[in-house]
Structure 1
Amino acid sequence: MTIIDVARHAGVSAKTVSRVFNDEPHVSAGVKQRVREAAAALDYHPNVMAQALVRRRSHLIGLVYENPSSSYGTELQMGVLDRLRDEPYRLVVIPIASVAEHAAEVVGLLRSAALDGVVLAPPASDNPRILSDLQRAGIRCARIASTRLLDAAPSTTIDDLAAAREIAAHVIELGHRDIAIIKGDPTHASTEARLLGYGQAFHAAGLTMRLDRIEQGLFTRESGRVAAARLLESADRPSAIIAQNDEMALGALIAARELGLSVPEDLSIVGFDDTELAQLAWPPLTTVRQPVFDMAVAATDMVIAQLHREQVTMQRAYKHVLIIRGSTAAPPRLDC
């Protein structure tokens, strides 16, 4: 079927059909409906590439992310796709192995893909080189969970510091005093923000955050397992582990089981994000829920608003929620 067939079926000119599918002005609602009904009856679908040439737009929205957590990445993609439903835009997923190492190349990649706009997830959402290059290239963008340069581009935010403080306080309130921490990737701004939040909770409880109880992870399950193994193989192992995301918390859970420890009877473990993994783990993980899906929807909406030359809210703040599940309990003994 061609545009001429649609025009004949709808009783209008081929030019009118073209104007309807290219969303041009000065076409009545009734004519638009007749054309769309004719296209549906004939199973006609307009050529997206041809439309892009006419409008000088690709109708492609990119999603740049690095986080190696498959659950986190899926939440991001589902959020963007949900907002793009019924829109003439398509999603291009652009995973970057290391944003810190390839920041100078990211915008060149986006330009070569002819994207109309891009959603940036951490740590790209906080990278000054990427933000300045996007501005020079004239590519519309919006950011997810950004913590820095909040005036540089529209952003969705969550208070990482407050969320980390609350989950650390929960562990302390259970009676734990010997608490270990597994940090995330140092190139992510959230890593230091969450560590600062833990420190505030420790300080409020009159506790010292021991440097020898802090292990470096990379937000991956394996890095969490290795870091937890180092902490738990010592004779004076901690009674609780705070991991900066659910993937590393799951790695710590695996390490505990490999050493014959029971969770939460011998060891309490908490994560961050409330991904699907946190709910499927056994025992289910105590964690902090950040609304990744909703933040991705909102960031995509910000990009579309810019493309439509509409007013855009520069920041949308989202609340976290402490989710208490079976991976935490009082310690087997209280350390004084």
Structure 2
Amino acid sequence: MPDTLRKPRTSRSRQTGAPTISDVATLAGVSMMTVSRVINADAKVRQSTREKVNAAIAELNYAPNRAARSLAGAAQMRIGLLYSNPSEAFLSAFIVGSLEEASRSDAQIIVRKLEDGEDPGHATERMIAGGVDGVVLPPPLCEAPEVLAVLRKAGVPTVAVTTARPEDGVAAVMIDDHTAAREMTAHLIGLGHQRIGFILGHPDLTASGERLIGYREALESAGIAFDEALVAQGYFTYRSGLDAAEALLSLDDAPSAIFASNDDMAAATVAIAHRRGLDVPGDLTVCGFDDVALATTIWPELTTIQQPIAEMSRCAVELLVSLLRNKRTSEIGAHRIKLDHTLVRRQSDAAPRRRPSLRVPG
């Protein structure tokens, strides 16, 4: 199956008119994970919470899609989700999308965290031993060799999300990271910036490399020489963003704009700018990537690339469940689904401030 380009769905409820698990959670005043636990009869949910959720379900007339259970012999699919993502905002959006699609597909999501220091291969083996029909992998585990090797050996169908170059035999849901980074860099050049700092993502992820390529291509197209001093290594964490921003802003000829490879590192850059007494965007333009909730909860709100994280995880679960139910898992490696990205402009970017040159009295 060739690569498929899909526009992200903004909301299932807007498409069908049917209430979603998100609607139930909002009405009940709980998280979507709690709604999922109530739906799956988790005994650990408090009775008062269960009653609130059930009341919201009744008021909205919400029901998961149970069509699959009506099929003779059909059983509820168990989808494993193994994660170690350092960005809580990214992970939250990812899990929300997974739970919503699992509820609609009458599947069960088994969420497992890879703890610090835990062997990824052993963690994957334990998840498989717990009984999963397929696995969805968010970054960075979407490209972890130990994890993929165990899944491949066990023959467990797998969908990797946000990998730029998926392994053979693994399905993938992604965006065009290369083009997205090129567009953001071109946007900054269009504002008048010539010295644009770039904070790399984790070096082990192919998406990080693709974003760097896009950045460099935009500079080259504009006739701006690439300067290695303007590239700082990050790891998609807020802490690494602080360190990278500090290094870039300590340069003798500091950048007038910094493009970070995710919103966590962009938010950290804004924090460093403020600590140095710099106005954002008056003295420094800062842009990010992902468009997680953090992008609109800091000041100023971030200009960023919107990567449809929740929709990507929905798509991954939907694909996996469909192939499992139709007994077509041998085809899984042929599926490469690309979703659209969007450059979202907010308050953190502006043209570089023009200051008069310093005149020394003579």
- Measured after TM superposition, the shift of residue 255 of structure 1 is 0.3
Give yes or no for contact 2:303–2:344 (8 Å, CA) kept in 1: yes
Give yes or no for contact 1:58–1:114 (8 Å, CA) kept in 2: no
Give yes or no for contact 1:182–1:241 (8 Å, CA) kept in 2: yes
Structure 1 unaligned segments of length 5 or more: list them.
1-39, 41-50
> Structure 2 residue aligned with 1:258, among 275, 279, 285?
275
Residue 92 of structure 1: aligned partner: 110
- Measured after TM superposition, the shift of residue 304 of structure 1 is 0.8
Is residue 2:304 matched to residue 1:283?
A: no
Residue 138 of structure 1: aligned partner: 155
How far apart, CA to CA, are the structure 1 residues paired with 2:224 and 2:169? Answer: 38
> What TM-score do the two structures reach when normalised by structure 1?
0.77
Is residue 2:274 matched to residue 1:247?
A: no
How far apart, CA to CA, are the structure 2 residues paired with 1:150 and 1:321? Answer: 26
Mark the structure with the bigger radius of gyration: 1
Residue 333 of structure 1: aligned partner: 354
- Measured after TM superposition, the shift of residue 151 of structure 1 is 4.1
Q: How does 1:85-234 map to 2 (within 5 A)?
A: 85-96=103-114, 102-149=119-166, 151-234=168-251
Bigger Cα displacement from structure 2, 114-123 vs 150-159: 150-159
Superposed CA deviations along residues 142-183 of structure 1, whole A, max 9, x for unmatched, are: 121222235422221211000000001101111111111111
Q: Which amino acid aligns with 1:215?
A: A
How far apart, CA to CA, are the structure 1 residues paired with 2:354 and 2:292? Answer: 31
- Measured after TM superposition, the shift of residue 297 of structure 1 is 0.4
Give yes or no for contact 1:180–1:213 (8 Å, CA) kept in 2: yes
Is residue 2:92 matched to residue 1:74?
A: yes
How far apart, CA to CA, are the structure 1 residues paired with 2:149 and 2:250? Answer: 46
In structure 2, the CA distance between the partners of 1:86 and 1:297, relative to structure 1 (3 Å rule), is: closer
- Measured after TM superposition, the shift of residue 140 of structure 1 is 2.2
How far apart, CA to CA, are the structure 1 residues paired with 2:211 and 2:115? Answer: 23
Is residue 2:331 matched to residue 1:304?
A: no
Give yes or no for contact 1:243–1:272 (8 Å, CA) kept in 2: yes
Structure 2 unaligned segments of length 5 or more: list them.
1-57, 59-68, 356-362
In structure 2, the CA distance between the partners of 1:86 and 1:104, relative to structure 1 (3 Å rule), is: closer
Superposed CA deviations along residues 198-232 of structure 1, whole A, max 9, x for unmatched, are: 00001001112211111111111121112111221
Q: Secondary structure at the match of 1:228?
A: helix
Identity, in percent, stands at 36
Q: How does 1:267-278 map to 2 (within 5 A)?
A: 267-278=284-295
Give yes or no for contact 1:58–1:115 (8 Å, CA) kept in 2: no
- Measured after TM superposition, the shift of residue 309 of structure 1 is 2.4
Give yes or no for contact 1:284–1:325 (8 Å, CA) kept in 2: yes
Root-mean-square deviation (Å) = 2.6
- Measured after TM superposition, the shift of residue 245 of structure 1 is 0.2
Q: Which amino acid aligns with 2:189?
A: I
Bigger Cα displacement from structure 2, 103-112 vs 317-326: 103-112
- Measured after TM superposition, the shift of residue 189 of structure 1 is 1.4
Give yes or no for contact 1:286–1:323 (8 Å, CA) kept in 2: yes
Bigger Cα displacement from structure 2, 85-94 vs 160-169: 85-94
- Measured after TM superposition, the shift of residue 59 of structure 1 is 4.2
Q: How many residues align?
A: 282
How far apart, CA to CA, are the structure 2 residues paired with 1:110 and 1:174? Answer: 49
In structure 2, the CA distance between the partners of 1:276 and 1:333, relative to structure 1 (3 Å rule), is: same
